Amino acid sequence: MVHVIATIQYKAEREADLLGIYQDFVPRVREEAGCIQYVPTRNLEAGLPNQSMHPAVITVTEIWESMEAFKAHLQASHVLSFREQIQGIVENVTVKVLSPLF
């Protein structure tokens, strides 16, 4: 099993555009072979002293059955199209690809 955490920083004034693109994109990802979970999220204030609150950030949590499924996802036509659509909206993307310890 492969866990992925993607952090997407975007231009705040383009939030509505990005959310519209995500609404069309998410169901297509969830239909992919090997996709167990794909959930875009935003920060939720919990009052924790060490909590990092960043405006204009979407964090996507993903779980894939295998590395092969995740790599196939990265090459899917709707993913390539998504990358083109977010040009000029997204400022930075960081990705962590993780394996469960237990």
| Amino acid 13: pLDDT | 97
HSE-CB for 69 with a 13 A CA cutoff: 19
Count structural domains, the chain: 1
- Residues spanned by the domain of 33: 2-43+56-98
Query: What is the pLDDT averaged over residues 22-47?
Result: 96
pLDDT bracket for residue 21 (50, 70, 90): very high
Q: What is the pLDDT of residues 38-91, one digit of tens each?
A: 999 999 999 999 988 888 999 999 999 999 999 999 999 999 999 999 999 999
Average of per-residue pLDDT across 7-20: 97
| C-alpha–C-alpha distance, residues 51 and 17, integer Å | 27
Q: Tell me, what CATH number does 88's domain have?
A: 3.30.70.100
Q: Is residue 8 part of a domain?
A: yes
Residue with structure tokens 């204030």? 45
